[in-house]
Amino acid sequence: MSVNQPHEVDFHHEEHVLYPAHDDRTESKEFKEARHHLIVVLDTPCFICGVKHSEGARMESHHLFGEYSLSNALDIAKINADHPHFTPNNDLPITSVDSEGNQLSLCEWCHRGKPKYEALHHPRNKHKTAGVHELTFPIWIAQKYRLQGVDILVEAVDK
């Protein structure tokens, strides 16, 4: 059996999405309350790296199973049927895309990867991280479970 040495692979992902008709996005009262409860009241740590609002991290809330622009295309009952105990926050049922059960607490680095290139140098663990909106799910989630001292992302270098 041969063992591959560490090596870089470049992925170029492109997706084409047909969003159903929907109103312009505004932060609903439900979303604002859920975000405040998770980030400020409960001080829920970032799902990936563990930083908290109380530690000075800029925290955000990520729509886990569906975002607002897809709300007219999602069957919430199907989501709850598949994931009756897999909600990120207190096993709360998902009642809408903006409900607390559909929110995942992430720091801005692990959410949007902002600021863009600084996000590769996360202050919490000194390892390279990137946001859920920048990576495929298997690579994004692997950031949470990687071995200590191991980087799985490399900085993009202009070629």
- The pTM assigned to this predicted structure is 0.80
pLDDT tier at 90 (50, 70, 90 boundaries)?
low
- Counting every residue written for the chain, the total comes to 159
Residue 2 belongs to a domain: no
Percent of the chain surpassing pLDDT 90: 23
Residue 1 belongs to a domain: no
Residue 84 belongs to a domain: yes
Residue 10 belongs to a domain: no
Q: Which two three-digit tokens encode residue 27?
A: 């932060």
Residue 13 belongs to a domain: no
46-67: per-residue pLDDT in tens? Answer: 998 899 999 988 899 999 888 8
Residue 77 belongs to a domain: yes
Question: Which residues span the domain enclosing 43?
Answer: 29-145
Residue 154 belongs to a domain: no
Task: Read off the pLDDT of each residue in 98-105 and give the average, rounded to a whole number.
Answer: 90
Give the DSSP per-residue string, 8-48.
-----------PPP-PPP---HHHHHHHHIIIIIS-PPPTT
Query: Looking at the 3D structure of the chain, how many domains does it have?
Result: 1
Which one, of 156, 112, 147, lies nearest residue 127 by Cα? 147
Task: Read off the pLDDT of each residue in 123-142 and give the average, rounded to a whole number.
Answer: 74
Measure the CA–CA gap between 81 and 78, rounded to whole angstroms: 5
Task: Read off the pLDDT of each residue in 69-96 and give the average, rounded to a whole number.
Answer: 80
Residue 155 belongs to a domain: no
Please give the sequence-ordered ranges of beta strands (E in DSSP) within 1-154, or none if there are none. 59-63, 103-107
Q: What's the confidence (pLDDT) of residue 92? A: 79
